[in-house]
């Protein structure tokens, strides 16, 4: 029997974490594992290494909460990508950021601070279909890298647009 792809859910709120895990496991296509802060998530990733850590991790995707007490999403993301940076030819684990920030400024800040290190971005409260659709594209269709590129391009477009608006204001 083929093993189900593993999804790591990094969320400090246990109720929300249980809910997301239930939604993911109910599909019977993936198996979700919880982690309640960034440090625990790094430990779990370490225990799921493959082939002397030369091969890509057993975890296929990480759903990452942005606001966490011990090690927040941004720090976790940067630590992970720094570690992965030591082996440039290895596949980076796709990450989907889950956050409750609604205003565009905070979104842009969060996106900018990740420097395009994530493959997706969903706002809480999100629909089941939105989450599962994203997971399908990342885990089943293996489109994480394309999604990441699209996210970076969109950010660059936003930045250019913001620049244009601020320049126009200065001009006026």
Partner 1 sequence: MSRSKSVIMLPLVLMWSLIYGVIGGLFFKSLSVYEFWMISNRHHIRQWKRYPVRHYRQFTTAVLIGRMGAKAWSSLPITRNQITWEYAHAPFPYLVILCNTLLALLYLPFALLSGAWNGPSFVFTRIWQKRTQALTLGSGLQSQ
Nearer to partner 1, 56 or 107 (CB): 56
Per DSSP, what are the bridge partners of residue 123? Answer: 99
Based on the shown chain and the rule CB under 8 A, indicate whether residue 154 belongs to the binding site for partner 1.
Answer: no
Nearer to partner 1, 51 or 69 (CB): 51
Q: 110-149 mask for partner 1 (x: CB under 8 A)? A: -------------------------------xxx-xx---
Interacting residue with partner 1 among 14, 43, 54, 154 (CB under 8 A): 54
Residue in 93, 36, 91 with CA at minimum distance from that of residue 61: 93
Interacting residue with partner 1 among 14, 22, 26, 53 (CB under 8 A): 53
Question: Are β-strands 120-123 and 95-99 bridged in parallel, bridged antiparallel, or unpaired?
Answer: parallel
Based on the shown chain and the rule CB under 8 A, indicate whether residue 47 belongs to the binding site for partner 1.
Answer: no
Nearer to partner 1, 93 or 110 (CB): 93
User: How far is the C-alpha of 134 from the C-alpha of 144, rounded, in Å?
Assistant: 9
Stretch that binds partner 1, among 21-29, 51-59, 100-108, 116-124 (CB under 8 A): 51-59
Q: How far is the CB of 158 from partner 1 (least distance, A)?
A: 18
Alpha helices (H) in 62-143, listed in sequence order: 73-85, 104-114, 128-135
User: How far is the C-alpha of 89 from the C-alpha of 100, rounded, in Å?
Assistant: 34
Assess contact for 61 and 72: CB atoms under 8 A.
Answer: no
Residue count (the chain) = 172
Query: Is residue 117 classed as helix, strand or coil in its secondary structure?
Result: coil
Binding site residues, partner 1, CB under 8 A: 51-56, 87, 89-91, 141-143, 145-146, 150
């Amino acid at each position: 029997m083929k093993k189900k792809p593993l999804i790591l859910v990094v969320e400090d709120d246990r109720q929300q974490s249980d809910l997301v895990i239930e939604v993911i496991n109910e599909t019977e296509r993936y198996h979700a594992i919880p982690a309640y802060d960034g440090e625990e998530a790094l430990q779990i990733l370490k225990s799921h290494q493959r082939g002397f850590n030369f091969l890509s991790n057993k975890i296929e995707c990480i759903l990452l909460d942005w606001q966490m007490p011990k090690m927040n999403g941004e720090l976790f993301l940067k630590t992970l990508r720094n570690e992965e940076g030591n082996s440039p030819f290895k596949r980076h684990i796709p990450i989907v950021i889950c956050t409750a920030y609604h205003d565009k400024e905070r979104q842009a800040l969060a996106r900018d601070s990740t420097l395009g290190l994530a493959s997706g971005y969903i706002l809480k409260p999100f629909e089941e279909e939105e989450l599962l659709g994203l997971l399908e594209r990342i885990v089943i269709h293996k489109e994480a890298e394309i999604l990441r590129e699209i996210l970076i391009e969109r950010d660059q477009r936003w930045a250019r647009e913001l620049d244009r608006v601020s320049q126009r204001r200065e001009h006026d």
